Structure 1
Amino acid sequence: MVDQFLWVIFPYICIAVFVVGHILRYRTDKFHWTAKSSEFIEKKQLMVGSLLFHLGIIPVILGHISGLGIPKEWMRALGVNDHMYHLGAIWIGGFFGFVTLLGMFILTFRRFSIKAVRKLSSASDMVVNTLLLIIVFMGMYATIVTNAVNPAFDYRDTISVWFRDLFLLRPDPSYMMGVPVSFQIHILAAFLIFALWPFTRLVHVWSVPLSYVGRSYILYRRHKVN
């Protein structure tokens, strides 16, 4: 029952909360849909941490999409053998993972250590920062340490299959039975952040200001006093 809950029920709960929560948040609380920037309090650490995090997280997300979503047989058909894939996952993924981890550490340290920023932060801000730091750290630990200690483990034969089957509505928890704990913690924490997403400042990710590109210029006219 525990495995059934962790690898079937819990992921579906998180996905449902993620989707329904965003709809409800937008319909009932769209005016608080904001990143709540604290740049006016402290700028240097925010600039460095945010730059590193965003530079790292995009390649990391793309790597997760390819690793989890594309079967290894398809990769082989494209000419990417297992050895090439794992070298890329460890070295390229490890590099961008480290950049992401460093940026997240700076942002979390800033939020907890600077008194003015801490006072401006809500409880959800503290939870999100801490949870994101844990997710990135466990991902790096699994990539570098777990893969080195257990080189025979291939997540594309277990986690990736389970993940794809989850969205095909035929999840099999048995795939996750022998998965190392570091990977399991990383996955469960990631699903938890998806469940928290609609109720935190993370919603600002969807507010890309694309309309600004084609927006008309604001015209200013001098008012002449007669």
Structure 2
Amino acid sequence: MNMIDQFAWVIFPYLCVAVFIVGHIFRYRYDQFNWTAKSSEFIEKKQLMLGSLLFHIGIIPVIMGHVAGLGIPKEWMNAIGVNEHLYHLGAMYGGGLFGVITFAGMLILTSRRITKRTIRKLSSTSDLIVNALLLFIVFMGVYSTFVTNNVQPDFDYRDTISIWFRNLFLFKPEAALMVDVPLSFKIHIITGFLIFAFWPFTRLVHVWSVPLNYARRSYILYRKNRGQSARH
């Protein structure tokens, strides 16, 4: 194991997580007025609605699949009756299907941002980087699922990537676990951490802006000024 592996699988992940946390704190304290999704719906609506719908339908199951695959040990899955074959079917077909849906949505959104001249002019550099990076991350995930897993059927990421990932959060990183991981998985992971480092400085921060206060906010009442209307 060389210094590149040590940096890629120990230093770089922790660095990205640190930037993610510190960047959000800084942005929230000093740049709340720019904490926005910068919607371009008023310029073009059809592609935005279709792309956003597909992306959100796909990304939620994809995230849940990543949490299950990376966060839950294989032994725990076996204990509740999810054996190797059953898990593989779910990851390959269920995860693959929602991955394709996510990719289709991201492809539409990215194409819209690049090909629509007005939207492209209103887009910042960070907007274009985020769109391209998310598209690439999702593509590498789909590629790993359908291509790499078929080319290297004996590879099980739950025996390598999952253990490495959990050990990161236990502050016991083992870079050696990642040395023999297929390249497509490595690229998917590196770019995944990279998007976390970019997150606080882009429009992605709007993910945390869930308007929960609207549920308990009082209604705003509008009344017509009848006296003023009568004078006119």
1:216 CA displacement = 1.1
Q: Which has the larger radius of gyration?
A: 2
Partner of 1:70: 72
Q: Deviations over 1:139-164 (max 9, x none)?
A: 00000000010000000000000000
Partner of 2:119: 117
Partner of 1:6: 8
Q: 2:190 aligns with which of 188, 191, 201?
A: 188
Q: Secondary structure at the match of 1:39?
A: coil
Partner of 1:169: 171
Q: Secondary structure at the match of 1:41?
A: coil
Q: 1:35 aligns with which of 25, 29, 37?
A: 37
1:211 CA displacement = 1.4
Partner of 1:202: 204
Residues 152-167 of structure 1 mapped to structure 2, 5 A cutoff: 152-167=154-169
Q: 1:25 aligns with which of 17, 27, 30?
A: 27
Q: 2:133 aligns with which of 126, 131, 134?
A: 131
Give the TM-score normalised by structure 2. 0.96
> Could you tell me which amino acid in structure 1 is paired with residue 212 of structure 2?
L
Structure 1: stretches of 5+ with no match in the other structure:
none
Partner of 1:104: 106
1:214 CA displacement = 2.0
CA distance in 2, matches of 1:195, 1:167: 17
Q: 1:149 aligns with which of 148, 151, 154?
A: 151
CA distance in 2, matches of 1:221, 1:43: 33
CA distance in 2, matches of 1:67, 1:214: 37
Percent of aligned pairs sharing the same letter: 69
Structure 2: stretches of 5+ with no match in the other structure:
none
CA distance in 1, matches of 2:134, 2:118: 21
Instruction: Answer yes or no: is 1:51 the counterpart of 2:53.
Output: yes
CA distance in 1, matches of 2:212, 2:146: 37
1:191 CA displacement = 0.2
1:222 CA displacement = 1.4
CA distance in 1, matches of 2:115, 2:182: 33
Q: How many residues align?
A: 226
1:53 CA displacement = 0.1
Q: Secondary structure at the match of 2:221?
A: coil
Give the TM-score normalised by structure 1. 0.99
Dislocated runs of 4+, deviation >2 Å: none
Q: Secondary structure at the match of 1:215?
A: coil
Q: Secondary structure at the match of 1:66?
A: helix
Q: Deviations over 1:111-154 (max 9, x none)?
A: 00100000000000000000000000000000000001000000
Q: Secondary structure at the match of 1:169?
A: coil
> Once superposed, what is the RMSD of the aligned Cα atoms?
0.6
CA distance in 2, matches of 1:84, 1:203: 36
Q: Which deviates more from structure 2 when the two are superposed, residues 69-78 or residues 215-224? A: 215-224
Q: Secondary structure at the match of 2:6?
A: helix
CA distance in 1, matches of 2:197, 2:220: 40
